[in-house]
Every structure is written in structure tokens, then in C-alpha cells.
């Protein structure tokens, strides 16, 4: 009496659902592939037990530092890693993982390390810096390096110091000459 077979509409709906789901997965794999190709550093961590508020805090810190946070299915991330320079980090993608990444080769590592120190539920597993795989200690070492902005500021400071010294040296004789001329002029007027 009640048929066990699906109606035609139900079959069409199910096929459409599968097609949409597959298209979404393909987009996610493509987005992850772009992340793995264009990021200076990618940090992989477990986040089991973090609250929504803690994840929002991590995202905010990452955004402030010019990096990003992405939770993705490990299976899709492994597909996206195929053929990429950092493919070796696919072994880290087990359990509930989150990716922290940045174009700057140091920013994401700094954010992840800082967050991990305050949140014991956030456990850094490792990552990749270009084609170099990083273990836990490697991520920590990268996080201690100066960021791109810090390096630029240091270089600008080094370049600026000699320039200000030169300007001071050039400006000093001019003020001395002006002082001498002023003294000569005063003596001439007095005479």
C-alpha cells in the first residue's frame, strides 16, 4: 500500500541537493587551495573545547594582525593540499583542526602562539612556511621572528638615523655661520 520507492520530485530534489553540495565542496577546496598557495605561513591547531566567544576572540586577534582563521573539513583540506608546496602538512589534519594563516610569513604564527598561551584548549600541531613543514617548535620559532611591518620599521629607523645625523651636521655649520655673521654685524654697528 505505501510504496517504498521515492516519488519523482523527491529524487529530483535529492539529486539537486547532491549537486549543490558537491559544488559547495568544490568551492571550499578551491578557496583552501588559494590559502595554501598564497599564504606565507599556515598554522594548524586543534580547537576542541573552545567556546564560540573564544573562537571569535581568535578571529578578532587574527584580523587585527592581518591574518585569518579558517575551520575546514580535513578531507577537503587534504584534497586542496595535493600538489601544493606545503602538501607535507596534510599529516597534521586529523581531529578538529583550525587553520590560522597570513600572507606575512610571521603574523599567523604570532597570533596562534599568543592565543595558545592564554587558551590551553587551543593546541598548535604545526604548519607550513612556504614549502617548509613546521612542527610545534618550528611554529614557536617563527612566531618569535619580527613581522614584515616590524622589519620595515627597523630598516626605516636604520636609514633615517644617518640621514638625521647628516642633516644635523649640515645644519650646525650654517647656524654657526649665521651666529658669526650676526656677531660681526653687531660689532660693525657698535663701531
10-residue mean pLDDT series, the chain (191 residues): 57 57 86 88 93 95 94 91 87 93 92 95 93 91 81 74 58 58 71 66
DSSP assignment letter at 85:
T
pLDDT for res 159: 74
> What's the pLDDT score for residue 174?
53
Edge-to-edge strand list for the sheet holding 41-46: 67-71, 97-102, 41-46, 123-129, 132-134
3 state DSSP class of 68:
strand
| Maximal CA-CA distance, the chain | 131
Can you give the pLDDT at residue 86? Answer: 84
* Confidence (pTM): 0.68
Amino acid at each position: 500500500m505505501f510504496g517504498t520507492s521515492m516519488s519523482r520530485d523527491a529524487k529530483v530534489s535529492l539529486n539537486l541537493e547532491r549537486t549543490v553540495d558537491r559544488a559547495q565542496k568544490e568551492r571550499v577546496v578551491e578557496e583552501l587551495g588559494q590559502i595554501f598557495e598564497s599564504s606565507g605561513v599556515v598554522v594548524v591547531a586543534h580547537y576542541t573545547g573552545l567556546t564560540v566567544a573564544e573562537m571569535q576572540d581568535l578571529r578578532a586577534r587574527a584580523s587585527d594582525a592581518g591574518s585569518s582563521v579558517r575551520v575546514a573539513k580535513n578531507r577537503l583540506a587534504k584534497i586542496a593540499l595535493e600538489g601544493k608546496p606545503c602538501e607535507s602538512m596534510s599529516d597534521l589534519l586529523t581531529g578538529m583542526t583550525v587553520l590560522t594563516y597570513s600572507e606575512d610569513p610571521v603574523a599567523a604564527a604570532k597570533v596562534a602562539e599568543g592565543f595558545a598561551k592564554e587558551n590551553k584548549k587551543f593546541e598548535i600541531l604545526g604548519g607550513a612556511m612556504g614549502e617548509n613543514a613546521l612542527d610545534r617548535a618550528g611554529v614557536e620559532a617563527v612566531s618569535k621572528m619580527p613581522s614584515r611591518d616590524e622589519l620595515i620599521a627597523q630598516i626605516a629607523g636604520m636609514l633615517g638615523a644617518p640621514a638625521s645625523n647628516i642633516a644635523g651636521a649640515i645644519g650646525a655649520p650654517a647656524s654657526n655661520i649665521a651666529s658669526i655673521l650676526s656677531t660681526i654685524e653687531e660689532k660693525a654697528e657698535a663701531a
